[in-house]
Amino acid sequence: MSRKIPKESKKVNISSSLESEDISLETTIHTDDVSSSEEREGKIKITRQLIERKEILHNIQLLKIELSQKNMMIDNLKMDYLTKIEELEEKLNDALHQKQLLTLRLDNQLTIQQKDAKKYQELMKQEMDTILLRQKQLEETNQQLRDKAGDVRRNLRDLELTEEQYVKLKSFSEEQLSIPEYVS
């Protein structure tokens, strides 16, 4: 009967062998108690474990490469987005500056237009006041002329001259005579 080797002694320290590439650490087992068939089984297990370990290391390496590639892609995307953000912020700042300039220009134009409108309104008011004053003067003159015309009509209706007044008026020139005197 062969002695059974406790499982503890057959175990290989995989975690330490994963970290190191040294194969000699993986194959260290107690050979004193192992028979040749058990030795072959142990070597097969060790070889199988070694293959599995190498596959795992290879897969880890592939995953590291893939992770590195994805990190690079993420970094590239970040850079692209940061560049786009900077461009958009620059465009936004330009647009805001342009808006401020246009707002100032609009405010200035509105102020100028308001001043011009106020001047025009004052000028129109002055002209209107002048027109109204002239109209009032003309109405007063018209009334005075109507009154005079009425007086002249009454005087012409009531005109009775004596012979003496007639001779006296006849001696004056036409320019010196008033209308009632001229008519009589």
CA angle in degrees (0–180, nearest 5) for 7-11-14:
155
CA angle 133, 127, 112 (to 5 degrees): 150
Note the pLDDT tens digit of each residue in 133-165.
999 999 999 999 999 888 878 877 666 777 787
Confidence of residue 2 (pLDDT cuts 50, 70, 90): very low
Q: What is the mean pLDDT of the chain?
A: 80
Q: Length of the chain, please?
A: 184
Say how far apart CA 159 and CA 183 lie, in whole Å. 9
The per-residue pLDDT for range 66-88, each reduced to its tens digit, is 999 999 999 999 999 999 999 99
What residues contact 172, with CB distance under 8 A and at least 6 apart?
181
Question: What DSSP element (H or E) covers 57?
Answer: helix 36-157
Higher pLDDT among residues 115 and 29, named by residue: 115
pLDDT at 165: 76
Residues 17 and 24: their CA atoms lie apart, in Å, by: 9
pLDDT tens digits, 24-66: 444 444 544 445 666 667 677 778 888 999 999 999 999 999 9
Quote the pLDDT of residue 134: 96
Query: For 11-35, where are the alpha helices, taking DSSP H only?
Result: 14-19
| Residue 6, pLDDT score | 44
Residue 99, token pair as written in the block: 């808006």
Torsions phi, psi for 172 (to 5 deg): -80, 155
Averaged over 8-27, what is the pLDDT? 44
